[in-house]
Amino acid sequence: MTVLHNNLQAETAAVSALDYLPVSQMRDLQLARLLATLRRAYERVRLYRERMAERKATPEELRGLEDLARFPFTVKNDLRDTYPYGLLASPLEEVVRLHASSGTTGKPIVVAYTQQDVDVWTDAMSRTLAACGVGRGDIVQNAYGYGLFTGGLGAHYGAEALGATVIPISGGNTDRQIMVMKDFRVTAICCTPSYFLHLLDRAAQLGVEVCELPLRVGVFGAEPWTDSLRRHIEAASRIQAYDIYGLTEITGPGVASECHLHQGLHVFEDHFYPEIIDPQSGEPLPEGQEGELVLTTLSKQAMPMLRYRTRDITAFLPGSCPCGRTLRRICRIGRRSDDMFIIRGVNVFPSQVESALLAVEGMLPHYQIILTREEGLDQMEVQVEVTPPLASDRVAALENLHNKLAHALHQTLGLRVKVRLVGPQTIKRSEGKAQRLIDRRNT
Ligand code: ADP
Ligand code: ZN
C-alpha cells in the first residue's frame, strides 16, 4: 500500500477526532488536500486539464481556499459525456469497485473507487452513523438497496467499521423486513424515509406495533423529506429519525449528517469541501444565503470531483453546533433545482406540496403530483390517499377534507390546484426513492 494510504488509515483510526478539529486546523488540512486533489486532476484527467487551462487556473495558483472559486465547475453531463471511464485519475487496475447512480434523471453515471476511496467512504459513513447515535451493540437493518446503487454498500461498510451488527437485507420484501425487525431485535434501520413509512403501514396491517419494538434510530436519506414527515414518523414509531445526505458522484451516502440536535447536517469537510453558489451567476454566497451546493472531493483518488454542481438547494448554517462538532452545517435539503416545475407561471417544488398536506390533521404523506396539459394549459392534480377510517366516512366529511386540502395547497403554493382523494393503499409504494411527480405534459 502507498504511504498516503497508510496515513489515511492512521487518521481513520481516530475517526471522530476530525469531527471536533479546531477550525483553523481543518482549513489547513483542507488546503493541503485540495492542492493535492487539483494537481492529481490536472495531471491525470484530460477534461480537468483542459478546463483549467481555459480558465487560466492551474493548481499552482491556489494560495488559499477562497481561490477555489476561480476553478471550473463539473456537472452531471460531464460524467455522462466521459462515460464510463473518462474521468478516472487512477489506472483501472487500481480500481476495486464501480457503482452507478440510480439515474433518477436520465442515463446512469459510473463512479470508481480505489481501496483508499472505499476507506474514505467507510470513514465518512461510520462518522455519519456515529452522529446518528449508532455504534457497537446496535443491530442495524440495512434496507438501502444493495447493488449498483451506493446506498446499501455505503451504509454496510460504515456500520461494520463501527462494530455494529449489520443485517444486509437490502430494499423490498416488506413482510420479511418486519419479521426481521421484530425477531432480530433491530435497534437501528437505514432506508429512505418513504420506504420506512411503507414499513410502518404494513406493520400496522400485520398487527406489529413498531413502537413496542427495540427499534430506536432511523437513518434516513437519499430523497427530500420534510420536518412534518419527521414528526409523523417519530410519533408513529417512537424512534429518533435522522437525516443523512450524500450523492453518488461525490462518494455515495456519508457526505453530511445530522447529529442528535437535528439542527442542520454536518458536512464531513475533511473529505468533501462545500461551497454554496448562486445558481445563476455561479458566484459563492455568504453564510445563511440559500443557493446550490457545490462539492469538491479532498481525499479521493480514482475519481476526484472538482466543484461538482449538485443541483441541491441549501444554505450554510451560521454559528457552531452545541454538539461540539466543528464541521460546518448545511440546512436540510428540501429541493433540488431540477425538481422545480412551473405551473401557470408559478414555481412549485414537490416538498411544498408535502408540507401543505401534512399540515392538515390526520393526513398521511402518501401523495402524488400529476401534471398534464389540456388544450395548451398546464394542469396540476394532487392525489392524496385517505386513511381507512376516513374512507368509510360520510360524504360530507370527505368533502370537508377535500376543501381543507385544496385550501392548504392554495395557501402554500399561491395557486389553485385540483385535489383528488383516493382510497387507502392506492398510491404505489416505493422501496427506494419515492416518485412524487408524474409529468405527462409532453407525452
Ligand atoms: P440520482 O438520484 O441522481 O440518480 P443518487 O442516488 O446519488 O443519484 O442521489 C443523490 C441525490 O439524492 C442528491 O443529489 C439529492 O438530490 C438527493 N438526496 C440524497 N440525500 C438526501 C437528503 N437527505 N435530503 C434530500 N435529498 C437527498
Ligand atoms: Zn451537531
3-state secondary structure (DSSP) of residue 106: coil
Q: Are 48 and 86 in contact (CB under 8 A)?
A: no
Query: If you take atom 2 of ligand 1, which residue's CA is the nearest one?
Result: 104
Q: What was the pLDDT predicted at 8? A: 46
Query: If you take atom 25 of ligand 1, which residue's CA is the nearest one?
Result: 224
For residue 288, what pLDDT band results from cuts at 50, 70 and 90? Answer: very high
For residue 43, what pLDDT band results from cuts at 50, 70 and 90? Answer: very high
CA distance 330 to 268: 11
Residue 9 scores a pLDDT above 80: no
Determine the residue of 76, 247, 332 to mutate for testing ligand 1's pocket, defined as the one with the most ligand atoms within 8 A of the Cβ atom: 247
CA distance 342 to 349: 9
Q: What was the pLDDT predicted at 102? A: 57
Query: If you take atom 10 of ligand 1, which residue's CA is the nearest one?
Result: 247
- The finding on whether 104 has its CB within 6 A of some atom of ligand 1 is yes
Nearest by Cα to 366 from 434, 318, 302, 277: 434
Q: How many CB atoms lie within 10 A of CB 176?
A: 10
**Residues 117-124, mean pLDDT to the nearest whole number:** 98
| Position with higher pLDDT, 344 vs 275 | 275
Q: Is the pTM of this model over 0.85?
A: yes
Q: What was the pLDDT predicted at 346? A: 87
Closest-lying ligand 1 atom to the alpha carbon of residue 224? 25
Q: What is the DSSP string of 301-338?
A: SSS---SEEEEEEE-EEPS--TT---S-EE----EEGG
Residue 7 scores a pLDDT above 60: no
pLDDT tens-digit map of 128-167 = 999 999 999 999 999 999 999 999 999 999 999 999 999 9
- The finding on whether 248 has its CB within 6 A of some atom of ligand 1 is yes
Query: If you take atom 8 of ligand 1, which residue's CA is the nearest one?
Result: 101
**Residues 98-111, mean pLDDT to the nearest whole number:** 78
Burial of 302 from C-beta contacts in 10 A (0-12 / 13-18 / 19+): buried
Kindly list the protein residues that place their beta carbon closer than 5 angstroms to ligand 2, a single-atom ion: 259, 321, 323, 325
Q: What was the pLDDT predicted at 365? A: 83
The answer to which of 37-46, 243-252, 406-415 has the lowest mean pLDDT is 406-415
Determine the residue of 102, 219, 312, 355 to mutate for testing ligand 1's pocket, defined as the one with the most ligand atoms within 8 A of the Cβ atom: 312
Query: If you take atom 5 of ligand 1, which residue's CA is the nearest one?
Result: 247
CA angle 404, 406, 407 (to 5 degrees): 65
**Residues 430-438, mean pLDDT to the nearest whole number:** 88
